[in-house]
Each structure stands twice: as structure tokens, then as C-alpha cells.
Amino acid sequence: MSTPTPAKWGLRTLAFGYLGLLLLAPVGMIFYKTFEHGLGPPIEAMTSPDALHAIWLTLLMVAVAVPLNTVFGVGCALLLVRHKWKGNAVLDGIINLPFAISPIVVGLSLFLLYGTDGWFGPTLSEWGIQVLFSTPGMILASVFVSLPFVVRETVPVLQEIGTEQEQAASTLGANAWQTFWRVTLPAIRWGVAYGVVLTTARVLGEFGAVTIVSGSISGETETLPLFVAKAFEQFNEEAAYAGAIVLALLALTTLLLMSVGGRKAKAQGGPIPITGDAAISTSTTKEGS
Amino acid sequence: MGIAVEGARKRFGDFQALDDVSIDVPDGSLTALLGPSGSGKSTLLRAIAGLETLDAGQVVINGQDATKTPAQKREVGFVFQHYAAFKHMTVFGNVAFGLKIRKWDKAKISARVHELLQLVQLDGLAERYPDQLSGGQRQRMALARALAVEPQVLLLDEPFGALDAKVRKDLRTWLRRLHDEMHVTTIFVTHDQEEAMDVAEQLVVMNEGRVEQSGSADDLYDHPANEFVMSFVGEVNRLGEHFVRPHDMTVGLDRDDGAEEAMVQRIVALGFEIRVEFVLGDGTEVWAQLTRAELQKLELREGQIVYLRPGQTKSFSGDVPPPEGGGASTPRHPDGGDDAEVSAAA
């Protein structure tokens, strides 16, 4: 460790000051406000039927959207990195759309498609399927806004591991499926896991698109962020703060699960080079002549 | 039996990696594919393994046409330059991989893996991860992994290319001995002619997607088919249209008919061998390989004028007159391996 210079102290102060002012202070305030009068009021606010339903609905969104986007994301990343063709640039651009489009616009576009005057709306309602103002529409919105994360996190890891391990597996007799499960997926698992965490966080907190397609009906189509917003508008501060805390705790749990998983994997065999020439072989992506 | 490739062609975009390549590898032999980078040697090896599909041509492994067989069914062992170790598996897991795919039972896998780890001298390191091994250990692990499934052929793609000089020398001696024990038909790719001559029984010299010549190390050294082989296998000086090995240069101190006047430019002592660099009257730079005793006898100094007499020279171009002694020459790509004329300068 080098001795800290005034410049380093300056930078540190700036970094912590920035974070403190913009992140820690507001979040801290919410915690303070929620538990200002003890544990009773927030627990009471969060055990009302509407609040419990909002929590359940939010978890349902996560349970459906995250696995869907994980499978789709890993598949897409494989397509983009391992099967080069001209259409990839287009595919890549489309995957980025949810990053570029405001969630409100996503909500509106779903409205146009599935509304009573939309393309699919009338046909689907003839079959008795209600998309808007019910769970299917909310799931569609959640899937849409959280779609790119797993792809974006997996693509660079796939590129970095290269194809030699997969080729080695195939010369050893593994078919494509066995190679994917035994070699590729374990090698990219950290990219995928990080993508899953980001997807989960996005689905948990999604407001804009869901608010439009759900209609925000208490106890029916209200997710936790919608519940918090409504409570806030109705000056029910207790419920608003408590809901916010539950949201934050859910996100934290996801992060914790990932880092616990990470520590376990590290304990199994960390990348600790113990001999001098182990360092030579870290460049594995180079291909032969 | 063994491996045969017939008329192999492969193009990557504008680059012709293989241009009508045919080779024959006898059963149980150890053959080196030797050539500079971009000569197509790795592409040929990968085509034999099924990791590359040919545009045209045929791959026959032990009498069976394998051209359309996918890599997973070819039963080849392949060793990569950068090891291609499965990083999330232990050494044991890496070596056991092919056996698990073949659904062997646990006890049998364990016995086989330990037998192989003993063979590659890694017993005791079974529970390590690849990141905890040195480069040489990793490559031996990769070799054990390839051998575990008892492949019909063993293919090694610049297997020692990423290792330092000392480890590389040890490993190639060891590979030679391993091959003598196992007798599995082996092809290895290298750009290092010394390595190829040291390890292999048969050498195939490749350049620009074609086979220039194949044969034993002695064949290639003494009877190179063309200029490329002569300069790639062993050192060579060029005197006009003639080629001469540095150890075939005689250095004299007295003026002599047929000897070239030259000035000593630099004397480099490389242990037993002495490398003396000269510049000729027309500015051509050549060098001679002398022994320590020869140098001491001549008492050469830098800047001294001496007289060089090339011993055996070769010429590969049809329309150039032979040197003093008179010797015929051959076309650039002769069909036979060794009909390049050897002419002793008078």
C-alpha cells in the first residue's frame, strides 16, 4: 500500500460525499421514518390484505419474468457470440430497445396491441383472455423492460472464455447439450448470475410500464411499487415507507444470495496461482495459426 | 491404417488455408506437421479432428472415411496450445470428463484417472484446480484427459508453444518416451524445426496451404525438395542461386581459386559452436558455423579478410548454371523428394 496523498483523500471524500448525499441519506431517511415509532406500525401496514397481495404479485412477476429472460438471454447470447451471421447486428439492436425506450412508452405500446381496439385485444378477449388490467399484461410489461440484462452480462463472458474448452469437450465425445451443461454454463455462470440479479432488481422496481397496463387496482393488479406510490399519494406515509423498506429488503436478499453463492464457489477452488509460470497461461483466448 | 488425408481444401474468406493437401500417416507413428504460421498446419490438424470442415477432400482414420463424422464421434484425442483446461473442474474432473460422458461407473473412472495421472506424473494433484498448476503441469493434464478415452489417434496443436524453453525440452523428451510406450498414432503441429526433428519419426513440411515435402528428418535435411524446405529445415546461406549450409562453409586465410573473398564482420561464441558472420564483396551477408578449435586455429578477428569456399551447394532453379564444379538443377516442385542435385564445388 502506498501512502495516501492529499489528492487521494480528496477523491475519496468526493466519492463518499457524492454517494452519501445522493444514496445513503435518502435511504437512511426512509429507514428512520419507517421505524420512528417502533416495529409495530410498519408491520401492521404491511400485513393488510392489499399490502400482502402487492408483495405476492411482485414476487409472481419476478418468478415468471426472471426465468423467462434468463433462458432467453443465455440463448440469445449464445446465438450472438457463437453463431456469427449478418442478422446478428439487427438482433443486437432489438435486444437493446428496452434500454432505449421509456417504460411509459412500453406500457402505451402494450395498450395499443392488447386494448379493446388493438391488434390482438379483440381476438384474445373472444377467447376469454384478459391481458390488460390483469396479470398477463403486467408480466408482459415486466418481461419487456427487463429483457436485455442477462444477454448484456453474458455476451462479454462468453467472448472471453473462447471456444477451445467447448471444442475440447466435443473431441472428448460430448454432444452440444452435454457441452453446454458441463462446460459452457459453468464457465459463464457469473455473468449469468449478475444478469439475473439485475433482472430481478428491475422487475421488483418496475413502475412505469406496469402502472399503465395494470390500472393499479388495489388488491388485484397492484404490485409493491404501485402500492407505495398510491399510499404516498393518499398521505398514508406509514404504508408508503414500509412498502419501500420491503422492496429494498427484497433487492438486498437477491444481492446477498448471489454473493453467498460466489463465496461458496470460491471456497471450492479459487484462482490462486501457486507457481511462477501459472501466470503465463492466463491468456487462453488466443487461437492457433 | 493410420491417418490419410486426400486432396484437402479449406478457404477462410480470401485466405486459402489448405490448397489440395494430401498426407499419409502410418499406423502407430509419430508425425510432425512443420511450417511457419499461416501455413495451414493447424487447420489440417483441426480438420482431422473434425473441428474444421473441409471444402473438399477426404479424411480417413484407420481405414474409415471420417470426412462427415462430427468431432464427438471421431475418437481422437486433441491437445490445444493453450491447454483448454476446464477451469471449474479439478484435475480429476478434467481427466474424468470423457469417461463420464461415456457413462463409465465411478469406481472404473477413478481407477482409470489415477492410472493416467500416474502416467503423466500428476498423481497427488488430482484435487487441484487448473489455475493452481504450472503451464507444463496443465499441458500434461490436458494430455491425460485426451488419452483417458483411449483415442484412435492423438493430435497435438503446438502443445509446447506456450511453455518456456526448459519445460518445453523436458516435455518433448517425455512425449517421445510416452509414444514409445503407447504406440497411438500421433500427429503434432509445430513451427520449431528442432522440436520436430527431435520428437517425430516423420516430418511433413507445409507452406502456404501446401505440403512442400515429407519424409524423415535426414531426408529433409540432406535432400530438400526446394528452397523453402532447405531454408526452413536447418540453417542456410544464399549465394546467388545457390544454397549452402553454414557448417559446409570452409574458411581459408590464403587466396584460392573458386573461393570468395569476404570480410569477418562479427564473431559470436555460442558455447561449443562459433557463429562467424561475413560480408562478401557484393554486400551479401553469410555466416559459417565453426567449432571452437577451428576458430582458434584460424585466429580470426573482426575486420579480417578471408576466403570462403562453400562445400556442398544446392540449386533449385532450372535456368541457372551450376556452380564451378558443375551440377544439374531441378524444378521448384519436383515430384520425388530427393532429386535436388547435390553438387560438390570443385
Residue given cell 406509514 in the structure block: A238
pLDDT at position A1 is: 52
Whether A172 and B149 lie within 8 Å, measured CB to CB: yes
Please report residues of B whose CB lies closer than 8 A to that of A284. 82-84
Between CA A59 and CA A48 the distance in angstroms is 17
How would you write the pLDDT of chain A (289 residues) with one tens digit per residue?
A: 566 688 899 999 999 999 999 988 988 888 888 888 888 888 888 899 999 999 999 999 999 999 999 999 999 999 999 988 888 999 999 999 998 999 999 999 888 888 878 888 788 888 888 888 889 999 999 999 999 999 999 999 999 999 999 999 999 999 999 999 999 999 999 899 999 999 999 999 999 999 998 888 888 889 999 999 999 999 998 899 999 999 989 988 888 888 787 666 555 443 333 333 333 333 333 333 3
Where does residue B33 fall: left (phi above 0), alpha (psi -120 to 50 degrees), or beta otherwise?
A: beta
CB atoms within 10 A of CB B64: 11
> Could you give phi then psi for residue B241, rounded to 5 degrees?
-95, 10
Nearest to A277 among B49, B50, B164 (CB): B164
Nearest to B72 among A175, A275, A283 (CB): A175
Q: State the average pLDDT over residues B67-89.
A: 94
Residue B156 three-state SS = strand
Nearest to B38 among A272, A278, A289 (CB): A289
- Cβ contacts below 8 Å, chain A against chain B, sum to 121
Shortest CA gap A83–chain B (Å): 15
Residue B16 three-state SS = strand
DSSP label at residue A4: P
Please report residues of B whose CB lies closer than 8 A to that of A172. 72, 97-98, 101, 145-146, 149
pLDDT at position A265 is: 59
User: Given CB atoms, is A267 within the 8 Å cutoff of chain B?
Assistant: no
Interface predicted TM-score (ipTM) of this complex, two decimals: 0.82
Set out the domains of chain A in order of their start, with CATH numbers: 26-280 (1.10.3720.10)
Shortest CA gap B161–chain A (Å): 10
Residue A27 three-state SS = helix
- pLDDT interval class at B118 (50, 70, 90): very high
Higher pLDDT, B328 or A124: A124
Higher pLDDT, B233 or B96: B96
User: Given CB atoms, is A170 within the 8 Å cutoff of chain B?
Assistant: yes
Whether B97 and A172 lie within 8 Å, measured CB to CB: yes
Residue B31 three-state SS = strand
Nearest CA in chain A to B85: A165
pLDDT at position A284 is: 36
pLDDT at position B324 is: 41
How many Å is the Cα radius of gyration of chain B?
24
Q: Name the pTM for this structure.
A: 0.80
- Alpha carbon dihedral B283, B286, B287, B288, in 10-degree steps, equals -110
pLDDT at position A275 is: 33
Residues 6 or more apart in contact with residue B266 via CB below 8 angstroms: B276, B277, B302
- pLDDT interval class at B163 (50, 70, 90): confident
Closest CA to B155 of B49, B54, B50: B49
